[in-house]
Amino acid sequence: MVGRSPPGGMLSTLKRICSTWHRQFSEYSGAITELWRKAPAALPAAPLPSQAHSEGGGAAKQGRELNQPSGLQFNRNYREHPPEQAVYTNNIRWRDAMSDTMTLRGKASVFAGAALLRLILFLAFPGLPDLLTGRVEISTPVTSFKRLQEGLFLYTNNVSPYDGGVFHQAPLLLPLFSLLPDVKSWPIFTHLLYIVVDLLSAEALYKIAESGVAGNSKLFTSPRRANRFGSAAIAAGFLFNPYTIATCIGRSTGVFTNCAILLAIAKAIQGSPFNAMVAISFASYLSMYPILLLPPLVLLAYDCQVEKRRIACITKFAATNVAVVLGCVVSLLGMSFLLANNSWEFLARTYGIQLTLSDLTPNVGLWWYFFIEMFDSFRAFFLGVFWLHLAAYPAALSIRLRPQPLAVLTILLGIFSIFKPYPSLADASIFLSVVPLFRHVFPLMRYAFVTTSTLLYATFLGPAFYHLWIYAGSGNANFFYAITLVWSLGQSLLVTDLTFAVLRDEWEIERPEMVGKEIRQI
């Protein structure tokens, strides 16, 4: 009843029960906390129950031996004669579960922070997206958001988007962006689309890093594989990379290609070759050059097959996946044909412009200035030379680095960022984001400082030289092209240094007596 206190006997009983529960809980939680701190370094691996009994001591004896180094005394009153082995195993599981929870929290924090940062930049600086969209470092004739808007305007008015001679991107991008509200009136929906694509790319990169394939593939195991960055750290390196952020804010359509490439690699590692081939087909449809990633991607998917669906013959596996890619590309081109009013005009306006370099808009690549100075009689020959040079790498690298197909993919992304016809910061961002997967070979790299300094030098001086040329009128095209050469030099140093480190890592396994010794080319 209200106002009446409980009898004294009942009150003392309640106090005694609560005190007992509190003491037992404190002792058990303290034991778990101590085990969390000391077990990884002090305790040996837990034996199986059959092994514990076969040694003559039983599980209890093994438990006492395991508890001895850490000085833990589990509460016997909590459970009558608990088996110490079971307690140890349960604590290890609890520790792993807590570790997974902390990892998920860290991942969620990284993703939420990256999304919030982009959203703040979009909303706090409404003029920034248009400013970055006009930068030649971010937008190219085949990735420009302004050109996409021009094509979208023609498309929504039932006019061929290629009639203006400005739009040079894949036709299937038009229905996607036509579903969004007008970017002038409701830009937030376009902003959210680009943020989501960046998060999808980071999720794929997270899964690639979590697999550990960079240092421990089917055919190669690096002795340095334990020296690696965390998956969340690698995803954060991608999401908070200034080049990635600038590409997202500038709304370059290169983010869709990067997302498809990372998804293809992630699916190949997860043992889903069909999804990997579909993703690389979509990337090739958007930008054409990712089709050159097919050889190492097929090898990666072959090495990471699920055992119950494994195809032993590599020739059969490769033929099957190449057929999937061809089927997907043909399907995408067929849909584009129907979308373009039963016309193949888009082929010349999207892929033909990259093959012939008919638009010589300045960019951070090497082709535009070279072909401005080129005589027309030599143009076809040097176009063939440039494309042959670009296409020669996949087969050679796939053969030489057969045990490490992920390394081949990483090196090729760097090569494409340098030598493709219309490179941008989007290409550099994906390359710089996958390089940290090979943290274990960083000690073998020789020019890290020079590479970093060169890239930073070009990053800061590139916009200044472009301004002197275009706006101030106090410079000429040589100013900007010179700094693009420095930018390409920095990426070339990184590509060659990474290639050397990967090969040195392999070589030291074959020649262990040469570990730590200097190598000189004679």
Residue 90 pLDDT: 53
Confidence of residue 3 (pLDDT cuts 50, 70, 90): very low
User: What integer pLDDT is reported at residue 103 of this predicted model?
Assistant: 76
Q: For position 67, what pLDDT does the model report?
A: 39
Q: How confident is the model at residue 68 (pLDDT cuts 50, 70, 90)?
A: very low
The most confident of 45-59, 69-83, 88-102, 175-189, by mean pLDDT: 175-189
Alpha helices by DSSP H, 340-474: 345-350, 352-356, 367-372, 376-391, 393-400, 405-419, 425-434, 448-467
Cα dihedral sign, 312-315-316-322: positive
128 near 250, Cβ under 8 Å? no
Q: What is the pLDDT of residue 292?
A: 97
What pLDDT, on the 0 to 100 scale, is given for residue 20? 58
pLDDT over threshold 50, residue 47: no
Res. 71: pLDDT tops 50: no
Say whether pLDDT at 306 is over 80.
Answer: yes
Q: How far apart are CA 46 and CA 88, in angstroms?
A: 8
Whether 346 has a pLDDT exceeding 80, the answer reads: yes
* pLDDT for the residue numbered 476: 87
Residue scoring higher pLDDT (57 or 175) = 175
Q: What is the pLDDT of residue 511?
A: 83
pTM score > 0.75 for this model?
Answer: yes
Does the pLDDT at position 52 exceed 80?
no
Query: Does 343 have pLDDT greater than 50?
Result: yes
pLDDT tens digits, one per residue of 266-297: 999 999 999 999 999 999 999 999 999 999 99
Helix (H, G, I), strand (E, B), or coil: what is residue 216?
strand
Share of the chain above pLDDT 70, in %: 80
Task: Find the range with the poorest average confidence among 31-45, 418-432, 451-465.
Answer: 31-45
User: What phi, psi does 497 have (nearest 5°)?
Assistant: -65, -40
What distance in Å separates the CA atoms of residue 205 and residue 198, rounded to the nearest whole number?
Answer: 11
- Higher per-residue confidence, 412 vs 89: 412
Mean pLDDT of the chain: 85
Element (H, E) at 210: helix 187-211
Q: Whose structure tokens read 């990471």?
A: 304
- Greater confidence, 54 or 135? 135
Q: Where are the domains of the chain?
A: 39-107, 125-343+364-514
pLDDT band at 102 (very low <50, low <70, confident <90, very high): low
pLDDT at 514: 77
Axis-axis angle for helices 84-124, 187-211 (nearest 10): 150
Looking at residue 27, its pLDDT comes to: 56
**Which range (172-186, 352-366, 368-382, 502-516) has the least confidence?**
502-516
Q: pLDDT tens digits, residue range 485-511?
A: 999 999 999 999 999 999 999 998 888
Buried b / exposed e along 187-226 (16+ C-beta atoms within 10 A): beebbebbbebbbbbbbbbbbbbbbbbbbebeebebebbe
State the pLDDT at residue 106: 83
pLDDT in tens, 194-207: 999 999 999 999 99
Whether the per-residue pLDDT at 481 is higher than 90: the answer is yes
